[in-house]
Structure 1
Amino acid sequence: MALYADSDPLLAHKHGIAAAHHAGRLAVVRESAGYAAYRAGYYEIALKELRAANRISGDVSMWPVMADCERGLGHPLKALALAGSPEVKRLAKAEEVEMRIVAAGARRDLGEVEAAVVTLTCKELSNESEEWAVRLRYAYADALSAAGRIEEARDWFGKCAVLDVEDTTDAYDRKN
């Protein structure tokens, strides 16, 4: 599955289905199948597989992706329920930041753009060294833009662009 995860998500998903069929009681198999389905856009299947992996292993690291699956299925309130659950306190910093980004997206799905900005307002915005800093700054800048706070958004797109050395976002273009 991992071999095709980026280059052919659909093929990775098909491999995930086969693996889950043959080794469905192994958390790592269900988790891999869930991530493959997620990358292929099969959010309902991804959610099912990730929930199974969570039940088997107790690992909460996949909760942000589960919440994003709920968003993909059009259930922003369910995504927010996951984001507000006690299990979130057990997330590592990277997953905690990702959950914050997903929760802000759910707020935007509900038309609560200012609440999305508030959700993303955190001390981690000042971080410049972690892998997740680009995604967090981009999400924050995008939320500011959606809230009509254009000058602040440009400033944060600029701060994001400085860190985005691999050019994974369009922050450089949006800062102008």
Structure 2
Amino acid sequence: MPIPDDVTGEEIDADVRQELQSLPKGLAEDVARNLVMVAKLIDEDPEQAYGYSKVALRLASRVAAVREAAGFAAYANQKYSEALAEFRAARRMTGSAELWPVMADCERGMGRPEKALDMAGEPEVQKLDKAGQVEMRLVAAGARRDMGQLDAAIVTLQSPELASNSVQPWTARLRYAYADALLAAGREDEAREWFAKVVEADRDGSTDASDRLAELDGVAFVDAFDEEEDEGAGADVTPAADQAKEADADDDADDDADDDAEGSDK
């Protein structure tokens, strides 16, 4: 797959670059450039990112960072079975529990929420940092919702991290999941309160909490351009019922004219 000339491979994290040092120099550069493309495209064009990840995987399948990148690219394309296999391979190579939450979410994606809940109770969760533990809580709550256990999902999300007034990288997502669960459970007033708290924490606009809040407040947004198009179209189109009436009137006029012509002939 083509890679722009300005992508050198130097853009990757230092830790990944260190892993690639086990490869011959030219090969390490090729792998690094493909990994950069995965990182650049995974959000805007997941399918393309997946293609680059497969190239990197073919070149260096024994590098943990490559297996992890391949896992995230497959995950972004909802290829959950494939993603889980890659994450497991990366975990075997590193011994790290860092990927545990996303592995559990793959189980959800494969229709096995019970397995995801089992993983939420495993000792690996205690090895996670705070961000990882919050992520695991989000996955567990999602699994509860998959199983139709809304109240349990709400309870799962209730935590010191949710109650904290400090804003952390995970705060907006945690509050959003809580607000959404409350709304699904019919607790609209509480949901509105928490969507407002999401807006406060979502400094980079990563969620649609402001739109959800507006919906709860009964605010409707209208695209002015679309509205003008509708008005323009309405001015040129005669309603079907009126067209039928006009056609009938024309037919009657034609009949009257024919009758008058026949009378004059007589």
TM-score of the two chains, using structure 1 as the length reference? 0.94
Are the equivalent residues in 2 in contact too, given 1:67–1:78 (CA < 8 A)?
Answer: yes
Are the equivalent residues in 2 in contact too, given 1:127–1:133 (CA < 8 A)?
Answer: no
Q: Partner residue of 1:62?
A: 99
* Rounded Cα–Cα distance in structure 2 between residues aligned with 1:93 and 1:127: 16
> Equivalent residues in 2 for 1:7-156 (5 A)?
7-125=44-162, 126-156=164-194
Q: Cα deviation per residue 1:25-81 (whole Å; 9 max; x = unaligned)?
A: 211110111011111221111111001101111111111111111111111011111
Q: Partner residue of 2:40?
A: 3
Greater RCO (CA < 8 Å, at least 6 residues apart): 1
TM-score of the two chains, using structure 2 as the length reference? 0.64
Are the equivalent residues in 2 in contact too, given 1:157–1:172 (CA < 8 A)?
Answer: yes
Q: Partner residue of 1:162?
A: 200
Runs of 4+ in 1 over 6 A off after TM superposition: none
Q: Which has the larger radius of gyration?
A: 2
SS of 2:206's equivalent? coil
* Rounded Cα–Cα distance in structure 1 between residues aligned with 2:175 and 2:124: 25
Matched AA of 1:64: P
Deviates more, 1:159-168 or 1:135-144: 159-168
TM-aligned CA deviation for residue 155 of structure 1: 0.6
Change in CA separation of 1:30 and 1:144 when aligned onto 2, cut-off 3 Å? same
Deviates more, 1:114-123 or 1:143-152: 143-152
| CA-atom RMSD in angstroms | 1.3
Matched AA of 2:108: R
Deviates more, 1:155-164 or 1:4-13: 4-13
* Rounded Cα–Cα distance in structure 2 between residues aligned with 1:58 and 1:148: 43
Among all aligned residue pairs of Structure 1 and Structure 2, give the percentage whose two residues are the same amino acid: 56
* Rounded Cα–Cα distance in structure 1 between residues aligned with 2:58 and 2:84: 16
Aligned length: 176
Q: 5+ unaligned residues in a row in structure 1: which ranges?
A: none
TM-aligned CA deviation for residue 127 of structure 1: 4.2
Change in CA separation of 1:10 and 1:152 when aligned onto 2, cut-off 3 Å? same
SS of 1:2's equivalent? helix
Q: Cα deviation per residue 1:4-35 (whole Å; 9 max; x = unaligned)?
A: 22222111112222222332221111011101
Deviates more, 1:145-154 or 1:17-26: 17-26
Are the equivalent residues in 2 in contact too, given 1:43–1:72 (CA < 8 A)?
Answer: yes
